[in-house]
Amino acid sequence: MLYKSLSSFPVFEVERDYDKCIVCGCCVQQCTFDATYYLPYAKKVITDEHKCVGCKRCEAMCPTGAIKVRAVTNEFKHNAYWDARTIRDIYKQADQGGVILTGGGNDRRFRVYWDHLLIDACQVTNPSIDPLREPMELRTFLGRKPDALEVEYNEKGEPELKTKIAPNLVAEIPVIFAPMSYGALNLNMHKAMAAAADAMGTYWNTGEGSLHRDLYKYGHCTIVQVASGRFGVSAEYLKVAAAAEIKIGQGAKPGIGGHLPGEKVDEEISKTRMIPVGTDALSPAPHHDIYSIEDLRQLIYAIKEATNYEKPVSVKIAAVHNVAAIASGIARAGADIIVLDGFRGGTGASPAIVRDYVGIPVEIAVAVVDQRLREEGIRNWVSIIAAGGIRNSADVIKAIALGADAVYIGTSALLAVGCTLCHKCYTGRCAWGITTNDPHIAKRLNPDIAAERLINLLKGWAHEMKEMLGLMGINAIESLKGNRLRLRAIGLTKEEMDILGVLPAGEGI
Amino acid sequence: MEPLVIDAKGMHYRELNQIIRDKVAEGYRHFILHNVNGQRYIGAGIMEDVFIEIHGVAGNDLGVFMKRGTIIVYDDAQDGVGNTMEGTKIVVHGMAGDVCGYGMRGGKLHILRDIGYRTGIHMKTYKDMVPVIIVGGKAGDFFGEYMAGGILILLNLWDDDDRPIVGSYLGTGMHGGVMYIRGEVDPHNLGKEVGIKELDEKDFLLLKKLLKEYCEDFKDYGLSVDEIMKSPFTKLVPVSTRPYGKIYAY
Ligand code: SF4
Ligand code: SF4
Ligand code: SF4
């Protein structure tokens, strides 16, 4: 039989212009995938393209612009059904057996509902507002809101609020850094997100790998996660945070657990997760104390008891077909915030088959959950955070118009600090120093510069969101919430529009 | 300070726990609770060195997230005893329910009689923090599932029914820690990530030390370490610390 190894067909071409190359060796040193090396007898730097993952680190760092990294586009005879990735995956599994791993988010060609939704604007009858001249409110409160407000008059005849308001998070911009664990990311990235969230008056989320001691000072802007592995979960961890989040599922891999390989559990991660150095950190698929909504309620209230009812408790689930009914159960279980994580959401490591074919888009999940909770009259019990593939401020505006209160950004935050979406996060060799805990490579991510870039991103989005609110004639993000009349669909079927609760473009009210 | 005595009869758990939290803040450390009848979350998240005595049946998630101190239940306890606990010792003079010691990272659970399903799931060891669960009776299925560290001891002291000493799926996904079971285990019930080992000198010393403390906690029941140690134990350890390391293609 003809043996055909996967490595016979590289995915990327690394073109090096030897007229420009000064043989400085920078690209050799920067390539963390050992693809590039110096060939002494030829006095040349060359790349073994079979090893190249297309991270573009060498291209970015070459001082003379000698390198171009390009995806090989015509590697096999054109075939609209058996595409190159499918062919390679079969080769790979025939070579090695086993589950194909990937990182990042679903990149398959499913319909992107964001791109079929257009935002409405005011003309003549309802004047738009100029955000440069008029106050524009992005402040968002996350947590339970009362069913009604009761006011009492004191002896002096002044009104006083009698209703006890449940604890809420206050975000100055409805954009929060998504849960990404220390382990999947390194401490530099956690520091950057914490500092950026603090500076912008918003929040960041630890993910399930606990909170490093050095970051306890950011507790007031930190959402801490409690996942099935319970890594580093302690009374102190819950008390130091602004809110706690029970992680049930992740959009990139609904219904399956996590697995941080032992090689990645170094001294610092071991200290933070409170597990021995070098052991696998396994997160079981379910929490084994949660097999029902009643059990979920029990953990929600365990956290509330442990934190003296002073902090909102969030529950994060992957967006799946039955998400509306599940969310209703979660709201009734006592959660204050529900996070819906759509199938475009990223991951440090997931079986590719799960990342690519399980779950539903967050656009749909937000619309159906908001609708269901409204119909049941309990929408005010919880805030909804939309997560999983939020790419720009228009996606944020659309998510909020569909019924979300705020969004999480993960992939966008990684992009802001240099990620090129090579999807090799699971190797722990991220050339951009983001999803690696190799101390040498992690130094490539300077936490101060990274924080600055995250702040810039949020500032840019905040300006844009204010512009968009203004053109809709709205002066507070609160008024956009669930305001689906400000969206119109283009190129969607009747059923899709019904599920999203939007009218077709061109149809007036 | 004097112990604080609370009559929990008819009290909602929120009220009871609020009193305990407030009083801990005032400086009380010793609590005696009477007429407890299933109130949940007693001790939840307390970080101070408290001593809580419970008369009656303790409800779910007793001692959840607790950092230190001691709880004694003079009756049975329901599910989730010692959930995600960091360092408390809980002594139960009766049975305990399902999912006890889930994600427990330190401290001790001493249960006099039987325990339910899913005991000690994902217990972990970290440095000098080694969680220990000792069960005097029998245990249900999934004992030590996903166990990542710590010590589980099952004694079968009473053998008062015809159930096996432990249920099925024993130690499924186990990747750390050790279990000692007094008696034989049907290999059919073992998870495939677990192996049976001979006990050595060190094991006996460890068992002796842990059982001494256990017997002292239950001294009214006439337990003797030497008597208990006369029967043979089965030691179970994980086959690999990386049970799922080989299923991926890169
Ligand atoms: S970094 Fe650029 S100039 Fe330096 S060796 Fe590589 S290709 Fe040549
Ligand atoms: S640095 Fe990245 S793009 Fe450049 S050769 Fe190495 S793997 Fe390929
Ligand atoms: S984080 Fe790093 S490894 Fe992951 S996709 Fe981005 S550049 Fe690649």
| Least confidently predicted of B16-30, B57-71, B153-167 | B153-167
Partner-chain contact A280 B45, CB within 8 Å: no
Partner-chain contact A279 B249, CB within 8 Å: no
Residue where one domain finishes, among candidates A51, A82, A98: A98
Confidence class of residue B185 from pLDDT cuts 50, 70 and 90?
confident
Q: Supply angle C-alpha A72, A75, A79, rounded to 5.
A: 120
Give the whole-angstrom CA distance, residue A158 versus residue A113: 50
Task: Decide whether any atom of ligand 2 lies within 6 Å of the A58 Cβ.
Answer: yes
User: Distance, in angstroms, between A277 CA and closest chain B CA?
Assistant: 9
User: Are the beta carbons of B145 and B172 closer than 8 angstroms?
Assistant: yes
Q: Is residue A166 part of a domain?
A: no
Residue A73 and residue A186 share a domain = no
Q: Is residue A470 part of a domain?
A: yes
Tell me the pLDDT tens digit for each residue of A107-146.
999 999 999 999 999 888 888 899 889 999 999 999 999 9
Q: Is residue A494 part of a domain?
A: no
| Least confidently predicted of A1-15, A266-280, A379-393, B181-195 | A1-15
Query: Which residues of chain A are within 8 Å of residue B22 when distances are taken between CB atoms?
Result: none
Tell me the pLDDT tens digit for each residue of A276-288.
888 778 888 888 8
Tell me which residue in A279, A306, A308 faces B148 most closely, judged by beta carbons.
Answer: A279
The pLDDT mean for chain B works out to 93
CATH number of the domain that residue A202 is part of: 3.20.20.70
Could you tell which of A14, A67, A68, A69 is best to mutate to test the pocket of ligand 1, judged by most ligand atoms within 8 Å of the CB?
Answer: A67
Indicate the DSSP class of residue A137: B
Query: Which residues of chain A are within 8 Å of residue B38 when distances are taken between CB atoms?
Result: none
Q: Is residue A167 part of a domain?
A: no
Tell me which residue in A98, A226, A284 faces B146 most closely, judged by beta carbons.
Answer: A284
Residue A6 has pLDDT above 60, yes or no: no
List ligand 3's pocket residues with C-beta within 6 A: A 55, 103-104, 414, 419-425, 430, 432, 434-435
Mean pLDDT of B175-201: 89
Q: What is the pLDDT of residue A484?
A: 96
Q: Supply angle C-alpha B248, B242, A421, rounded to 5.
A: 40
Tell me the pLDDT tens digit for each residue of B87-105.
999 999 999 999 999 999 9
Q: Which two tokens stand for residue A507?
A: 């149809």
Which domain range does residue A475 map to?
A: 174-481
Q: Is residue A280 part of a domain?
A: yes
Residues of chain A with pLDDT > 90, as a percent, come to: 82
Partner-chain contact A229 B118, CB within 8 Å: no
- Segment (H or E) for A371: helix A362-375
B59/A contact by beta carbon, under 8 A: no
The pLDDT mean for chain A works out to 94
Q: What is the pLDDT of residue B144?
A: 94
Q: What is the pLDDT of residue B189?
A: 82
Biggest CA-to-CA distance, chain B? 63
Q: Starting from the CA of residue A14, give the closest ligand.
A: 2
Partner-chain contact B244 A280, CB within 8 Å: yes
All structural domains of chain B with their residue ranges: 1-83, 94-243
Residue A263 has pLDDT above 80, yes or no: no
Q: What is the pLDDT of residue A1?
A: 46
Residues of chain B with pLDDT > 70, as a percent, come to: 96
Q: Is residue A245 part of a domain?
A: yes
User: Are the beta carbons of A102 and A352 closer than 8 angstroms?
Assistant: yes
| Least confidently predicted of A97-111, A401-415, B2-16 | A97-111
Query: Which residues of chain B are within 8 Å of residue A263 when distances are taken between CB atoms?
Result: none
What's chain B look like in SS3?
CCCEEEECCCCCHHHHHHHHHHHHHHCCCEEEEEEEECCCCCCCCCCCCCEEEEEEEECCCCCCCCCCCEEEECCCECCCCCCCCCCCEEEECCCECCCCCCCCCCCEEEECCCECCCCCCCCCCECCECCEEEECCCECCCCCCCCEEEEEEECCCCCCCCCCCECCCECCCCCEEEEEEECCCCHHHECCCEEEECCCHHHHHHHHHHHHHHHHHCHHHCCCHHHHHCCCEEEEEECCCCCCCCCEEC
Q: Is residue A410 part of a domain?
A: yes
Confidence class of residue A210 from pLDDT cuts 50, 70 and 90?
very high
Tell me the pLDDT tens digit for each residue of A129-188.
998 899 999 999 999 999 999 999 999 999 999 999 999 999 999 999 999 999 999 999
Tell me the pLDDT tens digit for each residue of B118-176.
999 999 998 889 999 999 999 999 999 999 999 999 999 998 889 999 999 999 989 89
Quick one: fold of B94-243?
Pectate Lyase C-like (2.160.20)
Q: What is the pLDDT of residue A262?
A: 79
Mean pLDDT of A12-32: 96
| Least confidently predicted of A106-120, A272-286, A313-327, B234-248 | B234-248
Torsion of the alpha carbons at A264, A266, A270 and A275, rounded to the nearest 10: 60
Could you tell which of A15, A19, A45, A68 is best to mutate to test the pocket of ligand 1, judged by most ligand atoms within 8 Å of the CB?
Answer: A45
A307/B contact by beta carbon, under 8 A: yes
Mean pLDDT of B223-230: 94
Residue A466 has pLDDT above 70, yes or no: yes
Q: Which two tokens stand for residue B202?
A: 């060190």
Mean pLDDT of B217-229: 94
**Neighbour tally for A110: CB within 10 Å:** 13
Q: What is the pLDDT of residue B243?
A: 65
**Domain total in chain A:** 2
Residue A285 and residue A201 share a domain = yes
C-alpha distances out from residue B24 to A244, B4, B9, B37, Å: 23, 10, 20, 22
Q: Supply angle C-alpha A207, A208, A212, rounded to 5.
A: 80
Give the whole-angstrom CA distance, residue A4 versus residue A18: 32
Torsion of the alpha carbons at B109, B115, B116 and B119, rounded to the nearest 10: 40
Tell me the pLDDT tens digit for each residue of A331-378.
999 999 999 999 999 999 889 999 999 999 999 999 999 999 999 999
Query: What is the per-residue burial (b if ≥16 Cβ within 10 Å, else e) of A23-35?
Result: eeebbbebbbbeb
Higher pLDDT, A6 or A22: A22
Q: Is residue A502 part of a domain?
A: no
- Of the candidates B149, B152, B197, B150, the one whose C-alpha atom is nearest the C-alpha of residue B170 is B152
